[in-house]
Amino acid sequence: MSALRGWPVSVRLAALVLLGYALLALASLAGWLDHGLALDVAARLAPPSGRHWFGTDPLGRDVFAMVAAGARTSLAVALGAVLVGLAAGTPLGLLAAGRGGLTDELVARGNDLLFAFPALLLAVLLSAALGPGALTAVVAIGVFNVPVFARLVRGSALSLMTRDFVRAARLAGRGPLAIAFVHLLPNLAGLLLVQAAIQLALGISAEAGLSYVGLGAQPPAPSWGRMLNEAQTLVGVAPWLAVFPGLALALAVLALGVLGDGLAARLDPRGRR
């Protein structure tokens, strides 16, 4: 907990919430909640109680276990998408900043193209090609993270490159790769971390959106978006079916947003005391 000292209460709370999600996802991954996912028609549509904290669905599955399993899917897809964005966007941004000229122009226009392309259309195209599923969601969301990171890295790298320590490194005989890894990336890491938190939040809601329209994780893999979709017709009878996955989704996005803001404030030297 000592790592959290000196941060605002809101950021500490957000970190705790996210830790909770991670533990939930791990518990689900380890199979500790699997018994809750078994069908139990006798206990169908039970309201929240001591036995079923979040109630049960029409097939008698435990909603808490489903939300936990959904956390697994959501976090995995959003993390995967952020990694895709980082892995492709960072080198592209560095390349554009370092080479300039035609390379820079091509990367910039590529970014514009991706920004202009409707995300949902790409997801539909991808699921037509790859079949719907978690991997499709990772690729579809990840592709839209690429220009975000590429632009961020390009802009920051350009401003770092005018700093004299980069000039000094060139005089010291360092090649472009060494300068990128030794001088630019460590100075960009904080910025990338903040952007990653923001993209993670966007990724989680995007994943829920894709699953909701049936383009994300497929049954029986649980997902918040599909839970919301399935709850639609029963919301009058069993509101807990919609409330809990909805809350889980909102809380995760909120916590990541708060964490991102906190990190950004901490990294901004003007905010440092």
Contact indicator for 88, 100 with CB cutoff of 8 Å? no
Q: In b/e form, how buried is each residue of 83-120, taking b as 16+ CB within 10 angstroms?
A: ebbbebbbebbbbbbbeeeeebeebeeebeebeeeeee
- Residue closer to another protein by CB (options 135, 160) is 160
- Residue closer to another protein by CB (options 50, 186) is 186
Q: Which residues contact 229 (CB under 8 A, 6 or more apart)?
A: 211, 212, 213, 214
Query: How many other C-beta atoms lie within 10 A of the C-beta of residue 172?
Result: 9
**Least distance (Å) from another protein to the CB of residue 169?**
6
**Least distance (Å) from another protein to the CB of residue 273?**
8
Question: Where in 108-167 is the site for another protein (CB under 8 A)?
Answer: 163-165, 167
- Residue closer to another protein by CB (options 220, 269) is 269
- Residue closer to another protein by CB (options 118, 173) is 173
Q: What backbone phi and psi angles, to 5 degrees, belong to 229? A: -60, -45
User: Count residues contacting another protein (CB under 8 A)?
Assistant: 15
Draw the binding track, 158-197, toward another protein (x: CB under 8 A; -: no contact).
-----xxx-xxxxxxxx--------x--xx----------
CA atoms of 29 and 107, how far apart (whole Å) = 39
**Least distance (Å) from another protein to the CB of residue 141?**
31
Q: Please provide the size of the chain in residues.
A: 273
Query: CA torsion 251→254→255→261, rounded to 10°?
Result: 180
- Residue closer to another protein by CB (options 16, 177) is 177
Quick check: 31 binds another protein (CB under 8 A)? no
Residue type, 236: G
**Least distance (Å) from another protein to the CB of residue 200?**
25
Quick check: 12 binds another protein (CB under 8 A)? no
Question: Rule CB under 8 A: which residues touch another protein?
Answer: 163-165, 167-174, 183, 186-187, 273
